[in-house]
Amino acid sequence: MTLLFLIAYRAIGILIWLLFAVAILSWFPIDPRNRWVRLLHAITDPILHPIRLLVPPIGGFSFDIIIAGLLLMLIQRVILQALVS
């Protein structure tokens, strides 16, 4: 069971870094047909899409990546508490 929690903890950490990469890439004009960009969006869009439906952009700024990152950090913290106890 501990191994499962550890794998989930690490996977969420990787997802947080991928969200950070999506945020950085959104600042640059990158070809969306690039296979790495498509892979990155294929991994992160299932997390971001429900948040985009609930929280529309405000003033041209989208908070979906920030909200998803905070939620993932919260889940990661809960998993860490389960690992420690």
User: Average pLDDT for residues 61-83, to the nearest whole number?
Assistant: 94
Sequence-separated (6 or more) residues with CB below 8 Å from residue 65: 19, 22, 23, 48
Q: Which two tokens stand for residue 22?
A: 């999506």
Position 73 scores a pLDDT of 96
Cα gap 27→48, rounded to integer Å: 17
pLDDT-derived band of residue 64, with 50, 70 and 90 as boundaries? very high
Of the candidates 12, 31, 9, the one whose C-alpha atom is nearest the C-alpha of residue 20 is 12
Phi/psi for 27 (5° steps) reads: -85, -15
Q: Which of 58, 55, 80, 79 is nearest to 68 (CA)?
A: 55
Is pLDDT above 80 for 40?
Answer: yes
Per-residue pLDDT band for 1 (boundaries 50, 70, 90) equals confident
Percent residues over pLDDT 90 in the chain:
76
The mean pLDDT of the chain is: 93
